[in-house]
Amino acid sequence: LIMVVPTPDGEVNDLVLAAAAIVGVDRIFAIGGAQAVAALAYGTESIPQVDKIVGPGNIYVATAKGMVFGTVGIDMIAGPSEILVICDGKTDPEWIAMDLFSQAEHDEDAQAILISQDVDFLKQVKNAIDRLLPTMERESIIRTSLADRAAFIQVKDLDEAVEVSNFIAPEHLELSVEDPEIMSKKIHHAGAIFMGRYTAEAIGDYCAGPNHVLPTSRTARFSSPLGVYDFQKRSSLIQVSEQGSQTLGQIASVLARGEGLTGHARSAEYRLKD
């Protein structure tokens, strides 16, 4: 198990090294970016070639992972961070504003979306954003992200909110509603679902438990979060008895000859008893 981690200005983060030791990382290399992806995919004099590359990164890392796929396996090609909040209008507007900030501060291409049936609540959140934004350390990034990519969507009811969310298939989905368990059963496409008013997305980022490498850019329609299964693979085991080969061999022969693949057919036929 190999980990690559950039070290800006040569500074090593002790917390990262401690986490690597706890989970059993075998080797660590102080590199990052697209060049790290290339080194892992093809190998160098000092960095061994790997079988699979997983983990998030910027657009250069994502592009590099796409380019080396096939030479090595990858988990996914992750795009800019996303958050979608469905709220019934009963959560503190400042909480929701800060939840939107939590993803918008990642970079200017991040996307923050709020859906509610309560137009007055949408206005309250907008006012909270205007009030709180000047207090943020990454104000410039958040402001650009919200201006270019954010959306407030008014729906007729919460059922329509679910429909919109399933179409968007967000990376992070907050269900800030009275009964999130019932609503969650209607959610078909989302990377991670944060259930209830007290479940801030930031908790999932750092300490909730499930892996937080998540599908973005609507890929939650067909892919899942990074997990244990990404570090496993399967092989098919097939064993046919002498008796079974008499039945299955005839079936295989018919199908193979139907495709004009006589080598396949005869391979099965040679095991048939006259």
Angle at Cα 104 formed by Cα 136 and Cα 137, nearest 5°? 20
Q: Which helix (H) or strand (E) holds 28?
A: strand 27-29
Cβ neighbors of 58 (< 8 A, separation 6 or more) are 33, 107
| Candidates 106, 172, 189, 212; catalytic one | 172
| Candidates 82, 171, 174, 201; catalytic one | 171
CB-count exposure of residue 53 (10 Å: 0-12, 13-18, 19+): buried
The first and second tokens of residue 86, run together, are 């469905």
188 is catalytic: no
CB-count exposure of residue 94 (10 Å: 0-12, 13-18, 19+): middle
Identify any residues that bridge with 160 across adjacent strands, giving them in sequence order.
none
Instruction: Check if the beta carbon of residue 187 is closer than 8 Å to that of residue 173.
Output: yes
Helices marked H in the chain: 14-23, 33-42, 59-68, 93-104, 119-132, 139-149, 158-168, 180-184, 201-206, 242-258, 262-269
172 is catalytic: yes
Active-site residue set:
171-172
